[in-house]
Amino acid sequence: MKYSVIIPVRNEENSVVPVYLAVSEVMGRLPGTHEIIFIDDASTDCGVLRLKAVQGKSLVLIELAEHAGQAAALQAGFDHAAGEIYITLDGDGQNDPRDIPALLARLAEGFDLVCGWRSPRRDPALKRIASRAAYMVRSLTAGTGIHDVGCSLRVFRKKSTEGICLWGGLHRFFDVIMAKRGCRIGEVRVTHHPRKNGVSKYGIWDRLKEGAGDLLRLRFGGAGYATAHARPYKIKCLSRTAPAA
């Protein structure tokens, strides 16, 4: 089995190396091979240089030519991943890679997608309230029963993503897209750490405004809304070290 860990980042220079090391330690204990893919979304800090300095085993670094957003960065990772199982998480250090084995065990029970459920969440109160409001709206229009739709820590099978194209704000509705494709979805409670470095790249009100539009299009346009679209990113550079054993 080969795993692809896909991590979109933007201006997370103080987090990317610790995240890489933590992920590498966890994946190194699993049977099979793995690659750890960082997609740098046109950062203006030194995160890329710090990752290159690591010379990490199994490290893949995709540098986007211009800021494309989290959904497009994820799509770039999907398009260049070589694994059979995809694992996604944020690059800010709030997700805990040590939860990955539990999600993989749940996936092995016959699920196509397993989502993390941050419990408890370590975000500011306003952000938690906004997320709760968004969840209630989703539940009325396109709910999948998942408790924490905003958690980036997920595991899923490569074949489940074939033919999709994430862009705009569609990363927020990954579970909805997968459900519309007939996928079986599960969840696992996971650890959520407070943010130690940097700031959130996605404002609450922008997130709600963009999310409402995407939700309506998915609700009435179906899963095709997440397929018929040109690739939403341009790659500046792609570098790859030797795969891990």
Residue 62 DSSP SS3: strand
Provide the mean pLDDT of the chain. Answer: 85
- The first and second tokens of residue 163, run together, are 């033919």
pLDDT digits (tens, 9 = 90+) for 30-77: 999 999 999 999 999 999 999 999 977 899 999 999 999 999 999 999
Question: Domain containing 29: what range?
Answer: 2-240
pLDDT tens track for 228-244: 567 889 999 999 986 65
- Do 194 and 94 touch, CB atoms closer than 8 A? yes
75 falls within a domain? yes
Is residue 231 in a domain?
A: yes
Which pair of structure tokens corresponds to residue 63?
């540098």
CATH number at residue 133: 3.90.550.10
Cα angle for residues 231, 60, 36 (degrees, 5° grid): 100
Residue of 182, 198, 185 whose CA lies nearest to 9: 198
Percent of the chain, pLDDT > 90? Answer: 62
Encoded tokens for 156 = 């899923």
The answer to whether residue 245 is domain-embedded is no
Count the domains in the chain: 1
- pTM across the whole model: 0.85
